Amino acid sequence: MDIKEYESNVRTPCVDMKNTFQDKATDLEKTFIKMTHLHAGLSPETIEKARLELNENPDVLHQDIQQVRDMIITRPDIGFLRTDDAFILRFLRARKFHQTDAFRLLAQYFQYRQLNLDMFKNFKADDPGIKRALIDGFPGVLENRDHYGRKILLLFAANWDQS
């Protein structure tokens, strides 16, 4: 074995290890960028409030999302149309980062949509009727819960034009 062959044998594992480390660092950077993207537009106060009130932890946010995503295979009967991080995060926040409860809500959401296709076939946020209903305050959610701990949804019928 000559010196060049020896050097190439010795350096290859180091180069491979360096490349592996760089790949892992790149993956971590991508995860950090993705998680930062999920907090884009949120003030530091809102991020802190989410941490305190919703148990949102930026350090394990990706794992929380992935746990909910992993539960999707348990319900092959439901067509989950969206499973991106930002969408799943909405359900985690709605259930204070209890993954099982968030998954249950996500499944109920898509199951309801699946069972009521006619209701959602032309349901678009830019529809003038939908915009008007949202502007008129339809629906409203009270800040406090009822005596059973349930959220209270209000429909402002006086502002609602049924046509």
Q: Between 61-71 and 3-38, two packed helices, what is the crossing angle to 10 degrees? A: 80
Secondary structure class of 141 (helix, strand, coil): strand
pLDDT at 88: 96
Residue 4: what pLDDT? Answer: 46
Question: How confident is the model over 129-141, as a mean pLDDT?
Answer: 73
The better pLDDT of the pair 163, 100 is held by: 100
Of 141, 142, 143, 137, nearest to 157 by C-alpha is: 137
Residue 14 has pLDDT above 90, yes or no: no
What DSSP line would sit under 52-91, residue for residue? HHH---TTTHHHHHHHHHHHGGG-TTS------HHHHHHH
What's the token pair of residue 148? 């059973």
Amino acid (one-letter) located at 53: E
For the segment 28-52, the average pLDDT, to the nearest whole number, is 70
* pLDDT exceeds 70 at position 29: no
> Quick one: average pLDDT of 44-52?
87
Claim: this prediction has a pTM higher than 0.85: no
Q: Average pLDDT in the 116-123 region? A: 81
